Structure formats: C-alpha cells, structure tokens
C-alpha cells in the first residue's frame, strides 16, 4: 500500500519529502456494535467533540489563566496569510503566537504580519542554505527578557528550526522538528537531533522551567493517529522517533494534552491534503505543548483548534496561570 505524502518543506527543484500522512483504510474491520467499517470515518470520528468543549480557565487550585499561547504549523506563511488566517488569530487573541514551517525569509514576510500592532515584538528564523525551507516565528504582545535562535549546534541551526524566548518565570521554545523524510533517509539525523535538542532543553530547564511548542513531527502513541498499524515505518511514527519523544518525557517533561486528556480519541492536528482526509478526520497529532513538570500547577488547559483552517495543520492553544 503506498504511503501518503505531503510537501513538508518545498524547495525549488526538490521533490516533496515524505512526511506523516495516513494511509487509507481499505479493509472492512469491525468496530463498536459489530458493524463493518467501510473505511470512511464515522460521524464520531468527524465530529471532534473535544473542539467544542469549553476552555478550562483555572488551575486545579483555582488560579485563573493569565497566559494564552497559540502554536500553528502554517505550511508556508505567505499562502497562510492569503487564506485569511490572520482573522482567526485576531479572534483567538493569544498573548504569544508561535509559527512553524514558514518557508519564508524575513525580508519577504507579508506586510500584514508587520502591521499587526497587537504583536509589536516579532522574531523570525529561516534556513541559511535553502530558500523556502523550514522556518519558525514568534510574535509577542509583551517583550521577552531575551531571545535566542537555534540550539547552539551548527548542523541543526542552519535550518532555522528553533526560537527561544526568556520570560520572568519560564522559557518558551518554539520548534519545527526535522522530518525523517522519504524512505527515512534522515532518520539517523533525526535521532541525532533528538539527543541534541533534549540536551538543549535540559540546559534551559536548569535555569527555569520551560514550555516547548510546535510541530514535533511525531505521533507518540497509537491513539495519536488514525491508522497506526499501517504506518509503523512512516516518518513520524517509527519506533525511533517515538522513543525519542518517550525519552523527552522521561526527563521530566509532560505532554500537556495527554496529561489532561489521556484517552481522548480522534484528536489530531495534521491531515494530508490527499483523499479528503481532513473531512474524514483521518489524521495525526504532531503538534504539542510540552511542559516542565514544575509548571503543571500552572496548567489550565491545552486545546486543539481543529476548526482552524489555512494549513494542513490546525492551531493548538495553551492556557496557563503564571
């Protein structure tokens, strides 16, 4: 069965890299009630009821949320802006907006971004070697104490994948983690990245707790994608990539969404454009807010905004009481 693919990072003259994309279900299988599944998602799959649940705006001990962060892989920021996505951002109104896969040099960013007066502090990183490749951004209402780019490893930093902002009580890291690519040709590189990135995060955490957000390019558990059995060798669901995320959690970090919603199914953040997968909710959860355990008392909610259009990923939003 052929693997699904999408353009992860389109570069002129370069074929699209194979990225996490669900394979269609073709065999009839039994699900609840003993009825056959014809491969089309049931209404329960499509509905994404978690989207309509009200936000939890207080912590367990009653502290009210005063920090709202949204993260979104935009799959090309110029196209994303043309799809009226900034209207969604203005409606959501996060204090900090983190963007991944911008595919754009800072000098070519749409003017509409620069004109967003509510976000006067904007920071951008892009690939130093390939135009239209990778790239991340961070837009803040309040100026950070300090902002850095990359993780201090030249091999990784040339691809423009990480921005770190320091605030009074925490670090915020937005990241676009490398994809293992078609045929898993970058899997060894991805494994090296995972080790180096974890070391970087641990170094930050030795100073103060952190929030990591972005497209981490891995579906950690079988519940985090629609078709786990047929994607074991697909980028984003290999044993090695999942182990890398397990190692991250093992070092004192928490997947905020699964901490709050451990058994919620059909909660995806990416759908390939092929096969009408988004309408069927045949997707993957690749986008995360990961927290230092020390910040768990500050956690109010971690939301997937599956109705947010404009990209093959949807936005996610974190509520904290800092």
Q: Which domain holds residue 279?
A: 57-320
Let me know if residue 255 belongs to a domain.
yes
273: domain CATH number is: 3.60.10.10
- Write down the pLDDT at residue 289: 99
Provide mean pLDDT across the span 171-200.
Answer: 98
Cβ-Cβ contacts under 8 Å for 152 (sequence gap 6 or more): 200
Q: Specify the pTM.
A: 0.87
Q: Which of the residue ranges 43-57, 116-130, 145-159 would you say has the lowest mean pLDDT?
A: 43-57
Residue 11 reports pLDDT greater than 80:
no
Q: Does residue 157 contact residue 178 with C-beta atoms inside 8 Å?
A: no
In angstroms, rounded to a whole number, what is the distance separating the alpha carbons of residues 315 and 286?
A: 11
Angle between helices 239-250 and 187-205 in degrees, nearest 10: 10
Q: In percent, how much of the chain has pLDDT > 90?
A: 82
Provide mean pLDDT across the span 154-176.
Answer: 98
Let me know if residue 73 belongs to a domain.
yes
Task: Please report the beta strands in the chain, taking only residues with DSSP state E, as ranges in sequence order.
Answer: 29-30, 36-37, 67-73, 96-100, 121-125, 136-140, 146-149, 162-166, 171-176, 210-215, 253-255, 287-292, 299-304, 316-320
The better pLDDT of the pair 67, 7 is held by 67
Residue 17 reports pLDDT greater than 70:
no
From 308, 319, 220, select the one nearest 260 (Cα to Cα). 319
Lookup: tokens for 37: 């599944």
Q: What are phi and psi of 184, to 5 degrees?
A: 60, 30
Let me know if residue 259 belongs to a domain.
yes
Strand 36-37 to strand 67-73: parallel, antiparallel, or no bridges (unpaired)? unpaired
Let me know if residue 9 belongs to a domain.
no
Q: Considering its fold, how many domains does the chain have in total?
A: 1
Q: Does residue 98 contact residue 214 with C-beta atoms inside 8 Å?
A: yes
Rg (CA), the chain: 19
Query: CA–CA distance from 119 to each of 81, 124, 162, 311 (Å)?
Result: 15, 13, 19, 21
Let me know if residue 24 belongs to a domain.
no
CB count in 10 Å sphere of residue 204: 19
- Write down the pLDDT at residue 46: 54
DSSP string, 16-78: PPP---PPPP-S-EE-GGGPEE-SSPPHHHHH-GGGGSPP--B-TTSPBP-EEEEEEE-SSHH
Let me know if residue 149 belongs to a domain.
yes
Q: Is the dihedral of CA 161, 218, 132, 310 positive or negative?
A: negative
Burial class (CB in 10 A: 0-12, 13-18, 19+), 139: buried
Residue 31 reports pLDDT greater than 50:
no
Strand 299-304 to strand 210-215: parallel, antiparallel, or no bridges (unpaired)? unpaired
Let me know if residue 67 belongs to a domain.
yes
Let me know if residue 13 belongs to a domain.
no
So which residues are the catalytic ones? 176, 215
Provide mean pLDDT across the span 44-66.
Answer: 82
**pLDDT tens digit string along 246-297?**
999 999 999 999 999 999 999 999 999 999 999 999 999 999 999 999 999 9
């Amino acid at each position: 069965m052929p693997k699904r693919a999408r353009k992860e990072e389109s570069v002129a003259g370069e074929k699209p890299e194979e990225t996490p994309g669900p394979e269609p279900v073709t065999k009839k299988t039994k699900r609840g009630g003993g009825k056959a599944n014809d491969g089309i998602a049931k209404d329960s799959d499509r509905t994404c009821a978690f989207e309509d649940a009200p936000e939890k705006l207080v912590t367990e001990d009653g502290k009210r949320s005063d920090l709202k962060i949204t993260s979104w892989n935009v799959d090309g920021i110029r196209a994303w802006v043309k799809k009226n996505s900034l209207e969604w951002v203005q409606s959501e109104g996060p204090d900090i907006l983190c963007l991944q896969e911008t595919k754009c040099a800072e000098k070519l960013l749409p003017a509409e971004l620069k004109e967003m007066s509510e976000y006067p502090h904007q920071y951008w990183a892009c690939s130093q070697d390939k135009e239209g490749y990778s790239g991340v951004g961070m837009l803040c209402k309040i100026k950070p104490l300090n902002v850095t780019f990359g993780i201090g490893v030249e091999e990784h930093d040339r691809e423009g994948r990480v921005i770190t902002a320091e605030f009074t009580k925490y670090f915020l890291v937005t990241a676009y983690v490398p994809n293992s690519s078609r045929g898993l040709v970058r899997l060894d590189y991805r494994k090296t990245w995972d080790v180096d990135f974890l070391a970087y995060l641990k170094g930050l955490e030795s100073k103060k707790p952190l929030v990591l957000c972005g497209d981490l390019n891995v579906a950690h558990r079988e519940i985090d994608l629609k078709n786990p059995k047929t994607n074991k060798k697909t980028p984003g669901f290999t044993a090695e990539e999942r182990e890398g995320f397990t190692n991250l959690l093992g070092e004192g970090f928490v997947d905020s969404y699964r901490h709050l919603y451990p058994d919620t199914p059909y909660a995806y953040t990416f759908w390939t454009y092929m096969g009408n997968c988004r309408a069927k909710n045949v997707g993957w959860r690749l986008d995360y807010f990961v927290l230092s355990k020390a910040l768990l008392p500050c956690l109010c909610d971690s939301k997937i905004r599956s109705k947010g259009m404009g990209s093959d990923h949807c936005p996610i939003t974190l509520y904290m009481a800092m």
